[in-house]
Amino acid sequence: MTQSILSHRRHFLTRSGQAVLSGTAIALLAGGVHAENVIRDGAGKALRVGSDAAAGDVSILNVALGLEHEAINAYQLGAGSGLLQKGVLEVAVLFQSHHKAHRDALIATIEKMGGRPVQERTLAEYAAALKADTLKSQGDVLALAMRLEQGASNAYLGVIPAFKTSALGQVAARLAADEVMHYTALAGALGRALPSGALSFGA
């Protein structure tokens, strides 16, 4: 059953894999963020780049970037674990490529706003933080990935009200949509029930 679900997901994801963000798409994602026309306060008044408001937005984006660094490394640990079957490995690598595109988009946005992107840590540091040594089966790897994707979905939705730059809310929502897609596919692969109620994300 699980294999069948995964196979179906993989078929869909393989066909949609070409939708991974290109360099152009990344530029478009970050493209709405211009100091002169988007950094605005609640009343629509333009804020100066380098102001506390813009710095706050950059801080939030850097936390998001930290999440993406961790997700990329989590999938790397899964891919290198030897625990994943071929088809599952392909999906994991696809999801990792999404996170790499997110990372690149966030770095471009942070730099465009005059900030300094947070640096990736070592794979060993991520392995320790995520307790990679406890992963003993494909199910363990997928469960970790599902938990991280669910957390990331909520994280992106949860920061939207904090942005002073309106365009960043849409960026976060688009990133959240990808994470929910990953979460849903992983839940299906694991045979886990999806949330029964509506509006279960971002509350």
Partner 1 sequence: MCALLSSPAEEAVSAGVADRGKAAYEARCGACHSIDEDRVGPRHAGVAGRRAGSVPGYAYSDALKRSRVVWTEATLSRWLESPESVIPGQRMGYRVGDAEIRADIVAYLLTLP
Binding site for partner 1 (CB under 8 A): 52, 56, 59-60, 62-63, 66-67, 70, 128-131, 147-148, 150-152, 154-155, 158-159, 161-163, 203
Cβ neighbours of 86 (radius 10 Å): 7
In angstroms, give the least distance from the CB of 7 to partner 1.
27
Q: Minimum Å distance from CB 183 to partner 1?
A: 10
Least separation in angstroms between residue 72's CB and partner 1 is 13
We find the least distance from the C-beta atom of residue 195 to partner 1, in angstroms, to be: 9
Q: What is residue 191's three-state secondary structure? A: coil
Nearest to 80 by CA among 89, 70, 69: 89
Q: Which is nearer to partner 1, 5 or 143 (CB)?
A: 143
> Given the complex with partner 1, which of 17 and 201 has the nearer CB atom?
201
Q: Which is nearer to partner 1, 10 or 109 (CB)?
A: 109
Question: In this structure, are residues 46 and 40 in contact, taking their beta carbons and an 8 Å threshold?
Answer: yes
Enter the tokens of residue 160: 């939207």
Sign of torsion over alpha carbons 135, 178, 53, 107: positive
Q: Which is nearer to partner 1, 28 or 128 (CB)?
A: 128
The smaller minimum CB distance to partner 1, of residues 3 and 200, is found at 200
Name the nearest CA neighbour of 191 among 8, 55, 6, 67: 6
Tell the smallest beta-carbon distance from residue 199 to partner 1 (Å): 10
15: which residues sit within 8 A by CB, 6+ positions away?
none
